Amino acid sequence: MSTFDLVVIWIAAIPATAALLLYGCLSAWWRFWPGRAFFSTMLAVALLLDLTIFFQRWHGHLAAKEDIAKGVYVVVAIACWLKCYAVIRQQIIRRRR
């Protein structure tokens, strides 16, 4: 990975992690499905970016690197399905009203 790639990932990772922490601490995201879906998506993106930096910068030869990456992709998959569920659920609720 080139220096430019790392700089771009750092530029994306800092606000992604900051937004996750701010949203997680300052809102009641767990109360409603859209909030849960939004938070889980933010968590998945922050994990992808932060772990990319971590592995590239400090632990490039970590033995469990692939297993951790698979775990992050599981989080991404769950977050994507939560978003789909939240959108469908909100549309059904909106139609009932």
What does the pLDDT profile of the chain (97 residues) look like in tens digits? 778 888 899 999 999 999 999 999 999 988 988 899 999 999 999 999 998 888 887 766 776 777 888 888 899 999 999 999 998 988 887 777 6
Domain range holding 60?
3-96
Query: What pLDDT is recorded for position 16?
Result: 94
How many structural domains does the chain have? 1
Q: Which helix (DSSP H) or strand (DSSP E) does residue 86 occupy? A: helix 65-96
This prediction's pTM = 0.77
Q: Who contacts 82 (Cβ-Cβ below 8 Å, separation ≥6)?
A: 33, 36, 37, 40, 41
Taking the C-alpha atoms of residue 86 and residue 48, their distance in angstroms, rounded to an integer, is 22
C-alpha R_g of the chain? 16
Q: Which pLDDT value is given to residue 39?
A: 93
* pLDDT given at position 60: 62
Give the whole-angstrom CA distance, residue 71 versus residue 88.
26
